Amino acid sequence: MFNRKTAPRTYGGNAAIIALAIAAFIPSVEAQTIEQVGGEANADDDNIIIVTASKRSENLQDVPISLSAITGDALAASKTVLADELAAKVPNLQMNGTIGENVPIFALRGISMFDYSLNQSSPVATYYDEVYKGNVAFLGISMFDLERVEVLRGPQGTLYGKNTTGGAVNLISKAPELNDANGYARVGYGNYDRVDLDAAANLPLGNSAALRIAGTFSRANGWFENVLPNQPDLNGIRQYAVRGSLKVQPTDGIDFVLRASTSFQNPRNFGVFSEPEAINRPGLTRRQIASNETSRRKARTYAVSLTANAELNDALTLTSITSWDKGTIDLVEDTDGLPIQLLEIPNFDRATQFAQDLRLASDFAGPFNFILGAYYNREKVFNQTTFRLLQDVASGGDIDMDGDVDDDDCALTTVGEACQFRNSFTQIKKSFAIYSDLNYEITDNVTLRGGLRFTRDTGQQNDFIAEILGPSGTVLGATIPTPATPPSFRNSDLSGKIGIDFKTAGDDLIYASISRGYRAPSFNAQAFFDPSEVSVAEKETVYAYEIGAKSQFANNSVTLNLAGFYYDYRDQQSINVDQLTGAQTLLNIPKSRIFGGEAELTAYLNDSVTLRSAVGLLNTKIKRGIVNGIDISGNNLVNAPSLNFSGGFDVTAFDNGSGKLSLHGDLSYITSQFFEIVNVPRLEQNGYALLSGHINWKSANGRFVASIWGKNLTNKFYFTSRIDLLAGFGFDYNHVGTPRTYGITAGVNF
């Protein structure tokens, strides 16, 4: 008989089946089942997985939201340590790697941010322990010692602190446990001389408090081989992070969790793959580069948060989340990817944030329940960007032909040769909102749901400077006059959601909803040459229509979740680059439409074998829009492949007195997509598949563990971003995905 208690649990991070015949081999599901490898799922019994996506602890199968969840143990076992790697595990989640590894620009269901500026906030929000991380400088290193990751698709705002049009990615760390001393330590080694160290310790402090300390360290040589003599390889790893969490429960019904963390990344910077290859990369293989700019990227984060929960009575709970964040990113990008100084772009971003979320949740025995909340966020960002053009003789910067490139050459420039163009500014954004989420049980099987959010956003861009500098760094003049009136915006918005769900006699869930998402206006960070570039993109909105179903059958050994949606997407914020002059503006694309769906399935075939899969389908079209003078009506949205699929298996080879040995394989595939809105044919990324896997061993007493892991085992070459710079600079800009990596890990639990 099938034993659900001993079957390995899995979460639907993996992909899909599009035909019933394939489903019979690697079934397909919507990401509301949990992939669990080498650990216990967050479940209160064998058939229930508990999530907090709706701000209450609920069975995942009872949550009428398109939701994917992956346990931290599953992520650790598969060596998923970068946030951008989640895209291979969650249907209709994509990423753009323009800013480099571990600073992903997420896209969900075709909604994304087509802007590589460091001052922007994505329409797909990222949360750490319910704290919204708006600016990329706050992201840092987060994928360690996690309880789980939850990915919510669709507009958010009635449940979460910040409103978004695309969705939310929630990373939830392991909380301190009262009265239980435990921990672990892991050490790993991989190719490119990769070394990993991970550890955590849970320390009870009496009967009412506990402290958890966790840390991670990684170091690896670069995989982008630099052929220039005495120059290091690029795309290396050098990073660490530490998190401390203190939980205090002074009395029943009241608890506090104080978290403090810091992280630092200092690797050799990412490399840029320039095309056409015959002109820009003669004699080089695909994973070789001739880069003269090899400085280290620096990214530092600090974060403190306090979460307080107080049960006011048996039916009402008050939650307060207070947080402070600080982060910096400092990098010099060798944008041309060449051994000459044709185009290099130093970027610097420093941000601080304070946020307060306060909400009251009910748990009445009657048919009506609610969440009422208020949210405040203040974000201050200093941003500085420099364009270094033709800074050496080989690139053509010697205008006066004296054998050197100096300030005199910049003074003689016609289109910016031998000059540096720099801008800087400080932006302050404030967001205040009150929100509600209500549900009413019409009958035992039918629930009506709704929610409203009123948001007031304000922003101001101060101290704007745009100037021209010579190669020596001497300021030669202003390129844009300082605005007499600083750019600003004030915007109020009413968004919300209404839906209904139905429980069948077999306890399956069918739901439908209509929601409106909203994203606040944004400042253009790429203003260098013309006053028109100092601009504000207006708010963007999406009207989302969704239906879904969640079911379990075959004695709960098979979980199948489905969702279908249609989006009316209005005023998407997008960067507009003039290929000839380099001028850049931030604009709104008036109207687009998106429709598609997700399906996820997990099947526990017996005590030893689990199959899992998921599929995401997308069809996107821009209805109206002009970019760089080009009518883009009919084009696809960026980061929106028509199909993305993942599937995998978990097999227990043996589980006896000598321990437990399990095998796990994963396959992900996405069809072709564009990374830029004009849909330049030569820049289309063709479809590709990635194969990964790991073998785990655990001793019979559970104390010792070991694993062998590998990612991108076929060494597939693919791009994670592409930008057209051919007309202005003679090359196309590309970021390359990580090649084959593999290693071993061993550790001890205590």
Q: What's the pLDDT score for residue 687? A: 97
What is the spatial distance between Cα 594 and Cα 684, in angstroms, rounded to a whole number? Answer: 19
Helices then strands, counting H and E runs in the chain, come out as: 5, 42
What homologous superfamily does CATH list for 20-749?
TonB-dependent receptor, beta-barrel domain (2.40.170.20)
The domain locations on the chain are 20-749
Q: Checking phi first, is residue 582 left (phi over 0); if not, alpha (psi -120 to 50) or beta? A: left
What is the spatial distance between Cα 532 and Cα 590, in angstroms, rounded to a whole number? Answer: 19
DSSP symbol at 123? S
- pLDDT tens per residue, range 586-595: 899 999 999 9
Q: Over the range 42-79, which residues count as b (16 or more CB within 10 Å of their CB) and which as e?
A: bbeeeeebbbbbbbbebbbbebbbbbbbbbbbbbbbbb
Mean pLDDT of successive 10-residue stretches along the chain, which has 750 residues: 35 31 32 34 47 73 87 87 85 83 81 88 93 93 92 90 91 95 97 97 96 97 96 95 98 96 93 94 96 94 98 96 97 94 96 97 94 97 96 96 96 91 97 96 96 97 97 96 94 96 93 96 93 92 97 91 97 82 83 97 94 96 92 96 96 96 96 94 96 97 96 96 88 94 97
**What is the DSSP annotation of 219-251?**
EE--SBEE-STT---BS-EEEEEEEEEEEEEEE
Q: What's the pLDDT score for residue 5? A: 35
Strands 124-128, 167-173: parallel, antiparallel or unpaired by DSSP?
parallel
Q: What's the pLDDT score for residue 101? A: 63
Residue 656 has a CB neighbour count (10 Å cut-off) of: 8
Q: What's the pLDDT score for residue 26? A: 33
Distances (CA, A) of 161 to 46, 133, 358, 449, 518: 32, 11, 9, 19, 13
With CA atoms as reference, report the closest residue to 571 among 607, 517, 609. Answer: 517
Burial class for 701, CB neighbours closer than 10 Å (0-12, 13-18, 19+): exposed
What is the spatial distance between Cα 148 and Cα 664, in angstroms, rounded to a whole number? Answer: 19
Q: What is the pTM of this model?
A: 0.90
Q: What's the pLDDT score for residue 296? A: 93
- pLDDT tens per residue, range 334-393: 999 999 999 999 999 999 999 999 999 999 998 999 999 999 999 999 999 999 999 999
C-alpha 483: how far from chain center = 34
